[in-house]
Amino acid sequence: MVVTDAAGLYYGTGCVELVERTLSTTVDLGEAGEYVVTYQLVSEDGHTISDRFSFSFSPNSSHSPATPHTSVPVCGEEPQLLEGPAPAPAEPEVSDTAVEPIAAPGEDETPGVGTAIAGVLGAIAALTALAAVWWRRRN
């Protein structure tokens, strides 16, 4: 789970928690503005679920902005913090494209046994239907 601002800088610790059906993280945000949360998880049966959403952050006057990271934060590692002034926010991209799944470490991208069996059964069903049509036309 990654949180970025309009300039593409990162916030958070990189640590996530999964409790039942809820994936969460704690993030200290920077200045007011638009942020994007991008997440991905691999379920127990190997399906990848990934998406993103954006939100506007409007802090109150007592908010102390967090320093953004220049790279994706990794849980348990010290982040590379931005030194100097933050870059100007980039022009927001508008996209309806879904986030591409990222292979988990060690995840084999070949189809599983269940997928192979479903494919074979589908091919057999299609061949059976074609044979039945051919047999009826012949007789």
Q: Verify that 122 and 80 share a domain, yes or no.
A: no
| 64 in the same domain as 29 | yes
Give the pTM: 0.56
From the list 33, 37, 48, 32, the residue with the least C-alpha distance to 12 is 37
The number of distinct structural domains making up the chain is 2
85 with 17, same domain: the answer is yes
CA atoms 127, 130, 136, 139: torsion sign: negative
Domain of 118, in residue numbers: 111-139
- DSSP H helical ranges for the chain: 113-138
Contacts (Cβ under 8 Å, ≥6 apart) of 17: 23, 24, 25
Residue 23 and residue 55 share a domain: yes
Q: Among 84, 51, 90, which Cα is nearest to 68's?
A: 84
Residue 10 lies in a domain: yes
CA–CA separation, 37 and 53 (whole Å): 5
Q: pLDDT truncated to tens, each residue of the chain (139 aa)?
A: 899 999 999 999 889 988 887 888 989 999 999 999 998 888 788 888 889 999 999 999 999 999 898 888 889 888 776 665 555 544 444 444 454 554 444 445 555 555 556 566 666 766 676 666 666 776 6
Is 24 in the same domain as 60? yes
